Chains A and B, each alone.
Chain A
Amino acid sequence: AQSVTQLGSHVSVSEGALVLLRCNYSSSVPPYLFWYVQYPNQGLQLLLKYTTGATLVKGINGFEAEFKKSETSFHLTKPSAHMSDAAEYFCAVSDLGGYQKVTFGTGTKLQVIP
């Protein structure tokens, strides 16, 4: 069975500071990994995804994530936080065992302090 663990349900950073949101996964097969963002009262929007190939993945809004197989991690980073980055972020892993079940973590709420 696949699973995702997000460390830290709430993270606060100052505007302009580095954003680091942590995600570790468990999967019995090579995983497809995702980060989604959810703004208040909205659905989820894909930030970036790792399928195969290059382990450093760049997404929208200046975010990137690095797939580290040895550490089973897929941490999300952004060099400089902006006020508009305040949202909830979900790490997810895809199960390719016959259908596209995507398993989400519990989420990390990012607060950006001016």
Chain B
Amino acid sequence: ETGVTQSPTHLIKTRGQQVTLRCSSQSGHNTVSWYQQALGQGPQFIFQYYREEENGRGNFPPRFSGLQFPNYSSELNVNALELDDSALYLCASSTGSGTGELFFGEGSRLTVL
């Protein structure tokens, strides 16, 4: 059984650019959530995908968007990058059973210059 994998692990972008982060969910999981973790902070909920549909969103602007594919892998896209977007982006998968238990990847560290 493979766990949650994310790519890339590190990347550097400049203001105004666009970035795509990728996540492969754990085997058997149909739900993927994305979190932003700024330095020294707890993870902040961006959005969640269940069976290819967004079914929940946190307080993030529309330039944060996502996709989920038929194999339940997912992408997070961020347009018009700002300096404050620098953070660790965490993907978490779950079974959709309703208990809320999340299985996290190791994250993608984004630095915006």
Contact = CB atoms under 8 A, between A and B. Distances in A.
The interface size bin for chain B is: 20 to 34
Nearest to B44: A104
Interface residues of A, number: 26
A95 B102 CA distance: 13
B104 A45 contact: yes
B35 to A, nearest CB: 8
Interface string B97-108: 011111111110
A100 B64 CA distance: 19
B90 A102 contact: no
Interface stretch (B14-22, B50-58, B65-73, B74-82): B50-58
B41 interface: yes
Given A96-B100, A101-B56, A102-B100, A43 B48 contact: no
Contacts of A51: 99
A29 B44 CA distance: 21
B19 to A, nearest CB: 19
A100 B48 contact: yes
Contacts of B105: 43
Contacts of A103: 45
B45 A101 contact: yes
A104 B41 CA distance: 9
Given A43-B107, A99-B56, A107-B40, 19 more contacts: A32-B99, A34-B101, A43-B92, A44-B43, A44-B90, A44-B92, A46-B101, A49-B100, A94-B99, A95-B100, A99-B48, A99-B55, A100-B31, A100-B56, A100-B102, A103-B45, A104-B35, A104-B42, A107-B41
